[in-house]
Amino acid sequence: MRHAAYIFDAYGTLFDVHAAVRRHAADIGPDGQLLSEIWRAKQLEYSWVRTLMGAYLDFWQLTEQALDFAFRKVPSVDPAMRSKLLDAYWRLDCYPEVPAVLRNLKDNGARLAILSNGSPAMLEAAVRSAGLDLILDEVFSVDSVRRFKTDQSVYDLVASSWRLYPEAISFQSSNRWDIAGAAKFGCRTVWINRSDQPDEYRDFPPSLILPSLEGLVTIG
């Protein structure tokens, strides 16, 4: 079934969140993966907590704070790497299949957009660096509602802006909690389960589970 719009989460779905640390792996040492995992986990935790508190800070500030915490948790990594890692986060690698999949969907008449926790500046840099700026129709940032996913106002950004019913939107994310949020809003949801994680949030199941975005080309 083809949909009018395909909306993609950015970090972890289109862009590899661990690419920044991997780019400097030789300088970071053997605890690089641990640092990267803590960095990502705290980045997300801060977004959820601040939405619950009603104390918004943009995602770049949370990214900086999360990295600072990760350095304290992993003292074997030199904090002098901070500026290099933050700079690398502006130019994260996209997953290999992303450009071709998005072009295929675009060629078949779908509208394409990103819906992300990322700040507008972060997303603009990442999209341009990956060469996706000529493929995407729009990039939606939570910054306009000052709340993070899974707040339902975030998913409504697309529906309201493009005047679409939720069921006309196919929403893709590698984050299972994000899929749950979009499912509750009423979107068709595709969980891109890249690392074969166990399912959760069983009361808000995904419409489809794929190991990468490639399946969208054949399944629709």
- Distance CA(118)–CA(161), nearest Å, equals 18
- Distance CA(81)–CA(36), nearest Å, equals 13
87 as an active site residue: the answer is no
Look at the chain and count its residues.
Answer: 220
Question: Which residues are within 8 A (CB) of 154 and not within 5 positions of it... i.e. 6 or more apart?
Answer: 115, 142, 145, 147, 148, 181
Alpha-carbon distances, residue 50 vs 55, 115, 117 (angstroms):
5, 19, 12
Question: Which residues are within 8 A (CB) of 173 and not within 5 positions of it... i.e. 6 or more apart?
Answer: 8, 9, 12, 13, 179, 182, 189, 190, 191, 192
Residue ranges of E strands in the chain: 5-8, 111-116, 138-141, 169-173, 188-192, 208-210
- Distance CA(187)–CA(160), nearest Å, equals 13
Single out the catalytic residue among 9, 58, 143, 178.
9
Active site residues: 9
